[in-house]
Structure 1
Amino acid sequence: MTKLDIKNLFNPQHILHVGNMRAKFFASGSFDGITDVREEILHGWKVSYDRGYRTPDFKKPVVTDLYLRTQKEEELLAIAVPYMERLYTFLQNDTFWITLLDRDGVILKLVGSDTMLKELAATGLIEGSNRGSDAPYGGLFHLVFTYKKPFILVSTEHASSIDDNLAGGACPIVDPETKEILGFIAVSGHWWYSHLHTLGLAVIAAEAISKQYALEKATKRLYAMSQSLKK
Structure 2
Amino acid sequence: MKSLFFILSFVISVHTFAFENDIYLKAGINMGVGRIGTFEIEPGDDDKEIAAHNYFGSYGFNTHVGYRWKRYELSASSTIFFGKVNDLSFKVNDNKFTGSGNYQNLMVYPTLKYFIPWEPLNSWRIAAGVSPIFSQQTVRLKEFISTGPFQGNKFKLTYDSVGWGVSLGFEEHLELKEMHPVYIEISYFSLYSVKSYLVDTTDPTKTNILSSQTKENDVGAETFMISMGIVLF
TM class by smaller structure: under 0.3
> Normalising to structure 1: TM-score of the pair?
0.24
> Normalising to structure 2: TM-score of the pair?
0.24
Larger radius of gyration: 2
